[in-house]
């Protein structure tokens, strides 16, 4: 191994005492490949995870929906009832048998859920504001009632309990990428005037309530240390929308919650803020690390394909590096770096290698038919 990259393979102990064997995390990636009838996992998904879990320290799964009206993708796997525990157990086992920690990402799609995928086409959100998709708008959601909000908070806790029973090592609360938790935090999608909306502090009520609920369930049901992480997106393009300043306020609150990590969702780890802070030349990661001030580990993700990319991300101060598309393209990424063969890492999609890459058909079709999502397409 090139000594330059040795730190990528040093162990890291999370606040709850769980030790990861290295600094590399497999980032959550939607794969559209569960059984469409009931949301149970398929053999193709299990093989996909097993093929990529051997060398990484931790795997964060694709997001699992906690309640039926939270389903956001075709072929998404379900965690909304105890009937799903055997299916969930298969995913946890496929990852853990390879030596990685298995973390289940839990989520609700909110206004980004396609009407055809949820009961009665009833799309819900913080308010009845449709999502903006370029020059078009998505379907208009129905604003959740306070009792429904409480039900969803409870559902996040219930899916956490199922994750514990299924043998996962932890859960990641998906508060990023425009889904329901972010919709409550965003001034674009949250126009409420009750305790869940209005001021920045009130818009933080729903995200923080989910953290509290998940942690309460873990305290009650987990018999050994159990990881709880939180993923967030730093900014939104809409006006009004989440600014970098808003996110720093949220992160400051999250850093005092006793979480095991925060996970920032970025397209590129070295990206800079668009608005909301004085110095737009400082990276988002720099601002986040300053705000966190060593209170909780930060996982950084975004366009990490080469060993040098990972090295630079680690040098920026992030203790853990998440790789998503890079591990889809190159399942042997870690092995090649450890063996000093980092120059052999594949960084673009090889269109004739689906079988060797162990990528399920639905995900493969999305990759090769979505220009710009993966390099080489």
Check which CATH number belongs to the domain holding 331 and give it: 3.20.20.70
**Could you tell me how far CA 115 lies from the centroid of its own chain?**
23
| Mean of pLDDT over the chain | 96
- Model confidence band, residue 110 (pLDDT cutoffs 50, 70, 90): very high
The pLDDT value given to residue 17? 98
pLDDT attached to residue 238: 92
| Domain annotation covers residue 39 | yes
Is 8 part of a structural domain of the chain?
Answer: yes
- Residue length, the chain? 377
Query: Is the pLDDT confidence value at 83 over 90?
Result: yes
Tell me how many domains the chain contains: 1
Q: Given this model, what pLDDT does residue 269 score?
A: 87
Is pTM beyond 0.85? Reply is: yes
What does the block give as tokens for 289? Answer: 């690390």
Residue 306 pLDDT: 96
Q: pLDDT above 70 covers what percent of the chain?
A: 100
pLDDT at position 67, please?
Answer: 98
Question: Could you tell me if residue 374 is inside a domain?
Answer: no
Q: What is the mean pLDDT of residues 138-160?
A: 98
CA-wise closest residue to 237 among 260, 214, 200, 267: 267
pLDDT at 133 over 90: no
What value does the CA radius of gyration of the chain take, rounded to a whole number of Å?
Answer: 19
Residue 373, in any domain of the structure: no
pLDDT of residue 134: 79
Question: Across residues 165-189, what is the average pLDDT?
Answer: 98
Which of 366, 349, 358 has the alpha carbon at shortest distance from 53?
Answer: 358
pLDDT at residue 78 is higher than 90: yes
If one compares 184 and 269, the residue with the highest pLDDT of the two is 184
pLDDT at 52: 96
The answer to whether residue 209 is domain-embedded is yes
- Give me the domain span that covers residue 23: 3-368
| Axis crossing angle, helix 205-221 with helix 146-166, rounded to the nearest 10 | 40
Please count the CA atoms within 13 angstroms of the CA of 332 that sit on its side-chain side.
12
**Contacts of 17 by beta carbon, 8 Å cutoff, 6+ apart:** 225
pLDDT tens for each residue of 247-280: 999 999 999 999 999 999 998 888 999 999 999 9
Q: Does residue 165 or residue 372 have the better pLDDT?
A: 165
Residue 316, burial from CB neighbour count under 10 angstroms (0-12, 13-18, 19+)? middle
What pLDDT, in 10s, does the model give residues 329-344? 999 999 999 999 999 9
pLDDT digits (tens, 9 = 90+) for 23-70: 999 999 999 999 999 999 999 999 999 999 999 999 999 999 999 999
pLDDT at 150 over 90: yes
In the predicted model, what is the mean pLDDT of residues 224-234? 98
Q: Indicate the pLDDT class of residue 143, thresholds 50, 70 and 90.
A: very high
Q: Is residue 123 part of a domain?
A: yes
Task: Give pLDDT, residue 329.
Answer: 96
- For helices 146-166 and 85-96, give the axis angle rounded to 10 degrees: 50
Residues labelled as active-site residues: 179
Q: Is residue 214 part of a domain?
A: yes
Q: What pLDDT was estimated at residue 7?
A: 96
pLDDT band at 301 (very low <50, low <70, confident <90, very high): confident
375 falls within a domain: no
Mean pLDDT for 130-145 is 93
Contact 12, 25 (CB under 8 A): no
> Out of 60-64, 300-304, 326-330, which region has the weakest mean confidence (pLDDT)?
300-304
Q: Look at residue 80 in the predicted model and tell me its pLDDT.
A: 98
Of 254, 311, 233, 244, nearest to 274 (Cα)? Answer: 244
Q: How far is 159 from 125, CA to CA, in rounded Å?
A: 20
Beta carbons within 10 angstroms of residue 27's beta carbon: 25
């Amino acid at each position: 191994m090139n000594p330059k990259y040795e730190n990528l393979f040093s162990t890291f102990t999370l606040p709850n005492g769980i030790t990861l064997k290295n600094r590399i995390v497999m980032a959550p990636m939607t794969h559209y490949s569960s059984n469409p009838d009931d949301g149970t996992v398929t053999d193709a998904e299990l093989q996909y995870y097993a093929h990529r879990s051997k060398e990484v320290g931790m795997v964060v799964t694709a997001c699992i929906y906690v309640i039926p009206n939270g389903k956001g993708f075709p072929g998404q796997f379900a965690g909304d009832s105890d009937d799903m525990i055997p299916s969930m157990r298969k995913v946890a086992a496929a990852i853990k048998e390879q030596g990685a920690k298995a973390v289940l990402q839990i989520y609700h799609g909110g206004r980004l859920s396609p009407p055809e995928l949820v009961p009665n086409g009833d799309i819900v959100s913080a308010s009845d504001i449709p999502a903006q998709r370029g020059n078009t708008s998505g379907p208009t959601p129905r604003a959740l009632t306070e009792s429904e909000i409480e039900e969803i908070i409870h559902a996040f806790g219930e899916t956490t309990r199922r994750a514990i029973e299924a043998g996962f090592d932890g859960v990641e609360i998906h508060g990023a990428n425009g889904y329901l938790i972010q919709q409550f935090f965003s001034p674009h999608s949250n126009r409420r005037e009750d305790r869940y909306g209005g001021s920045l502090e009130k818009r933080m009520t729903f995200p923080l309530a989910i953290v509290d609920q998940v942690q309460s369930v873990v305290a009650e049901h987990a018999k050994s240390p159990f990881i709880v992480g939180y993923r967030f997106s730093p900014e939104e393009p809409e006006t009004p929308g989440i600014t970098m300043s808003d996110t720093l306020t949220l992160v400051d609150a999250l850093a005092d919650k006793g979480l095991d990590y925060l996970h920032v969702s970025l397209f590129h780890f070295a990206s800079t803020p668009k608005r909301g802070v004085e110095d737009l030349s400082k990276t988002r990661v720099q601002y986040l690390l300053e705000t966190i001030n060593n209170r909780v580990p930060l996982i950084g993700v975004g366009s990490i394909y080469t060993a040098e990319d990972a090295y630079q991300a680690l040098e920026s101060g992030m203790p853990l590096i998440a790789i998503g598309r890079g591990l889809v393209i190159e399942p042997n990424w870690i092995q090649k770096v450890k063996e000093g063969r980092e120059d052999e890492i594949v960084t673009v999609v090889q269109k004739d290698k689906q079988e060797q890459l162990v990528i399920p058909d639905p995900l493969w079709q999305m990759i090769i038919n979505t220009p710009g999502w993966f390099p080489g397409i």
